């Protein structure tokens, strides 16, 4: 009799939990991949399967209307239709050709930018070279990636948003982990079946409806805090413009010098591209109105060490303060297409110091309006929901 009662209890618990167990499978197998997401980043980003080659699902194409990361699903959100392509390795590129490699964070990936607005594609049109976006990633991930050891790029551009520069890892950090991921990523990428299983398992792990519901509850209860001034949203606010000691600046310069040295020893040119924080350029909007001096001091230190660095700080300051040109979306902390174009101009000018580079425009297919069909791999998985 007691066993019968236990069985009934277990049956009831199973029926109660069954919808919660089945629903993630429905999300992954039935619903559109972006059904519960507000950006392509969350849609395609690898969640738990950190054994795949790249940070995104490979061989994907998606077009959707998305919002900035700082105020999604609110009246402050600015909507924009964007297109994304990812290559066979799970990076945001139309193909895997590489003369110039861009290592960086989400700004290099191109958050809230459509494919042709990303720095890699804008710079490619400037240089008449194949530019590859290896982001988000690190120098150590690059050094441990076998395909780049076999076919190294001519130039490696390392970029970072200002707030993340102090955390750039020194050469050799996490080297073993990067080598393991290169091995497992190549193994998974060698089999369409393994790739499909890995992507499906990762989509299940995201629990998209659950996370979307929690975020909605937090907003409804007022738990989601926004840092906003003059209808501009910021990631850190005043804390972003803190003062750095000279010792800290020197330590950061040591890390970047290490990058230069190891890449130079391998016959590759190194260039550092810092990206100012939104708080840096828009500092007058913040309560303290304190103008930061971190990037100018770091750039000066790097130049003293004969390290190639692009001075985006001075140019962005002039564009915003003298020309009233906005360089960041209202609802996001990443740069916009105007800032990207100017950064590409600066990089191209710096690289043109080498006779191997020129700024001849590529043929017409690379101009605005080019669909990219001839550069898109045939095995893309396409997600293009109705607009």
**Residues 23, 209 contacting (CB under 8 angstroms):** yes
Q: DSSP state, 169?
A: P
**Residues 306, 299 contacting (CB under 8 angstroms):** no
- Is 380 a domain residue? no
- Is 6 a domain residue? no
Position of tokens 């804008």?
Answer: 122
Quote the pLDDT of residue 21: 59
Q: Which residues contact 43 (CB under 8 A, 6 or more apart)?
A: 33, 34, 37, 62, 64, 383
Confidence band of 358 (pLDDT split at 50, 70, 90): very low
Q: Got the DSSP string for 22-80?
A: HHHHHHHHTS-TTTT-SSHHHHHB--S-TTSSSSB-SSEEEEEEE--TTSTTSTT---E
Is beta strand 100-103 parallel, antiparallel or unpaired with respect to 155-161?
parallel
Give mean pLDDT, residues 1-27. Answer: 61
Q: Got the DSSP string for 222-236?
A: T----EEETTEEESS
Percent of the chain, pLDDT > 90?
A: 66
Give the CATH number, domain containing residue 252: 3.40.50.1110
- Is 118 a domain residue? yes
Quote the pLDDT of residue 354: 59
User: What stretch of H or E contains 353?
Assistant: none
Confidence band of 376 (pLDDT split at 50, 70, 90): very low
Give mean pLDDT, residues 39-54. Answer: 92
Distance CA 348, CA 350 (A): 5
**Residues 266, 152 contacting (CB under 8 angstroms):** yes
Sign of CA dihedral 206, 208, 209, 214: positive
Quote the pLDDT of residue 360: 44
Question: Can you give the residue range of the structural domain that contains 266?
Answer: 23-357
- Is 375 a domain residue? no
Confidence band of 215 (pLDDT split at 50, 70, 90): confident
Q: Which residues contact 133 (CB under 8 A, 6 or more apart)?
A: 91, 92, 93, 102, 104, 108, 109, 110, 118, 119, 120
Tokens standing for 229?
């001034």
Give the CA count within 13 Å in the CB-facing half-sphere of 107.
29
- Is 110 a domain residue? yes
- Is 348 a domain residue? yes
Asked if the model's pLDDT at residue 367 lies above 70, the reply is: no
Asked if the model's pLDDT at residue 24 lies above 70, the reply is: no
Average pLDDT, the chain: 86
Percent of the chain, pLDDT > 70?
A: 82
- Is 9 a domain residue? no
- Is 63 a domain residue? yes
Confidence band of 379 (pLDDT split at 50, 70, 90): low
- pTM of the complete model: 0.85
Rg (CA), the chain: 23
Tokens standing for 359?
């700024």
The number of domains in the chain is 1
Burial call 333-361: b when 16+ CB within 10 Å, e when fewer: bbbbbebbbbbbbbbbebbeeeeebeeee
């Amino acid at each position: 009799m007691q066993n019968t009662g236990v069985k009934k209890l277990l049956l009831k618990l199973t029926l109660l939990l069954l919808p919660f167990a089945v629903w993630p499978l429905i999300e992954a197998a039935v619903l559109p991949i972006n059904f519960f997401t507000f950006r392509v980043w969350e849609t395609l980003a690898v969640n738990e399967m950190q054994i795949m080659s790249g940070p995104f699902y490979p061989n994907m194409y998606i077009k959707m209307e998305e919002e900035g990361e700082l105020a999604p699903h609110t009246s402050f959100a600015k909507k924009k239709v964007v297109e994304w392509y990812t290559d066979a390795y799970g990076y945001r590129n139309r193909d895997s050709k590489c003369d110039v490699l861009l290592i960086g964070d989400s700004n290099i990936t191109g958050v809230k930018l459509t494919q042709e607005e990303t720095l890699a594609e804008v710079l490619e049109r400037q240089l008449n070279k194949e530019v590859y976006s290896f982001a988000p990633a690190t120098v150590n991930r690059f050094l441990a990636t076998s395909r780049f050891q076999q076919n190294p790029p001519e130039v490696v551009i390392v970029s970072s948003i200002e707030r993340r520069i102090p955390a750039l890892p020194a050469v050799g950090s996490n080297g073993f982990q990067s080598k393991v991921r290169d091995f497992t990523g190549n193994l998974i990428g060698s089999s369409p079946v393994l790739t499909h299983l890995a992507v499906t398992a990762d989509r299940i792990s995201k629990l998209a409806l659950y996370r979307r519901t929690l975020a909605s509850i937090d907003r409804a209860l007022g738990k989601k805090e926004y840092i906003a001034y003059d209808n501009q949203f910021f990631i850190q606010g005043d804390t972003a413009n803190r003062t750095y000691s000279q010792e800290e600046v020197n330590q950061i310069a040591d890390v970047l010098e290490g990058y230069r040295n190891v890449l130079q020893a391998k016959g590759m040119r190194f260039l550092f591209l810092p990206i100012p924080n939104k708080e840096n350029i828009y500092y007058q909007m913040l309560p303290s109105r304190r103008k930061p001096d971190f990037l100018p001091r770091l750039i000066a230190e790097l130049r003293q060490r004969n390290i190639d660095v692009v001075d985006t700080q001075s140019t962005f300051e002039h564009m915003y303060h003298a020309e009233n040109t906005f360089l960041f979306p209202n609802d996001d902390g990443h740069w916009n297409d105007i800032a990207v174009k100017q950064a590409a101009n600066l990089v191209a000018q710096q690289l043109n110091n080498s006779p191997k580079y020129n700024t001849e425009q590529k043929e017409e297919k690379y101009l605005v309006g080019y669909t990219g069909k001839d550069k898109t791999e045939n095995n893309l998985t396409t997600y293009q929901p109705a607009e």
